[in-house]
Amino acid sequence: MSPTPPNGSPTFSVVVPLFNEEVVIDLFHQRLVPVMDGLGESWEVVYVNDGSSDASLACLTRLQERDPRIAILSLSRNFGKEIALTAGLDHARGQAVIATDIDLQDPPEVIPELVAGWREGFDIVYAQRRTREGESWIKRATASAFYRVMGKLGGPVNLPRDTGDFRLLSRRALDALLTLRERHRFMKGLFAWVGFPAKAVMYDRAPRAAGSTKWNWWKLWNLSLEGITSFTVAPLLMATYLGFASAFAALVYGVIMFIRTIVFGNPVPGYPSLLVVILFLGGVQLMTLGIIGEYLGRIFNEAKQRPLYIVERHLPSASSAPVAAPGAPARDALPPE
């Protein structure tokens, strides 16, 4: 367990990124409050408004007027969930920090089980889905396939299956996580990368309480590519092996054609087979260039050294002192108002 937090800091911080979630904010907070009060320790909740275009920020402001344990971090635009979660973790002041979504698919009632694991001495306690209510079989199947692929390609990083961002981190685990400032962020992988003793807590994932998901198939596909290319160079190795295999197949085919020409003469060649070979080799080359381009683009973005996010407004909770977040370089956010 981490050392006692500085004076004025709460024992627990709950970090909740959100984007256009005005219809569910009040419901989430109503369910969160009795759960956190039941822990018998001081706490705060850090709501990160990721450039919402609806009335989410106004809803949060009204809530903060009634509950001083609410901190509001409003970003200057939509930076994406992974960055918004990072911003919230940067500004969390608790001895233990809990990350969760606001759509109530991850029930706040599971938090006491996460806290119990932390009190046993585990630095990371992650919630592992036993069931996934409200999700289609296609989404469940593709999610399962992704975790299997990451298990094969992730190398030394052991990414727990059926696990999202819903978890608790001790202060020392969080401080270690906040030293990782890469621009292309796959938080599930970063949580696993820092190591530390970890424990799984099984739970049943509920359907979304209100509103609509912001994750369409295209965004999920891009997140999967982000996870694979951020934690392994296996696609580059696969492209290399595919190139060798194509060259070897072409060599074998050339030898066969040479022998057939010597033995049977040189009949009129078949243009369809020639076209298939050319298209195949062209496709392999373009795919290989695309894989290289993905990694090159990440190098390009990292080399620019832009801040991860820009804070438009920071309204700290009464439970936390308004000081710079531990482990967060000053360049990653503008000073709070």
Distance of alpha carbon 29 from alpha carbon 70, whole angstroms: 10
Total domains present in the chain: 2
User: Pick from 186, 249, 276: which is nearest to 222 by CA?
Assistant: 186
CA atoms within 13 A on the CB side of 128: 12
CATH number for position 175: 3.90.550.10
> pLDDT-based confidence at 16, cuts 50/70/90?
very high
Tell me the whole-structure pTM to 2 decimals.
0.69
Between 105 and 238, name the one with better pLDDT: 105
Overall average pLDDT of the 303-310 stretch:
82
Instruction: Let me know if residue 153 belongs to a domain.
Output: yes
150 with 184, same domain: the answer is: yes
Q: What is the pLDDT of residues 229-265, one digit of tens each?
A: 666 666 776 777 777 777 777 767 767 766 766 766 6
172 with 281, same domain: the answer is: no
What is the span of the domain harbouring residue 159?
12-217+307-332
Q: What is the pLDDT of residues 61-104, one digit of tens each?
A: 889 888 889 999 999 888 888 889 999 999 998 899 999 988 88
What pLDDT is stored for residue 328 in this prediction? 42
Task: Report whether 54 contacts 20 (CB < 8 A).
Answer: yes
Distance of alpha carbon 15 from alpha carbon 187, whole angstroms: 14
User: Pick from 61, 42, 49, 55: which is nearest to 85 by CA?
Assistant: 49
Q: Could you tell me where the DSSP H helices lie in 158-270? A: 171-177, 187-193, 217-231, 234-264
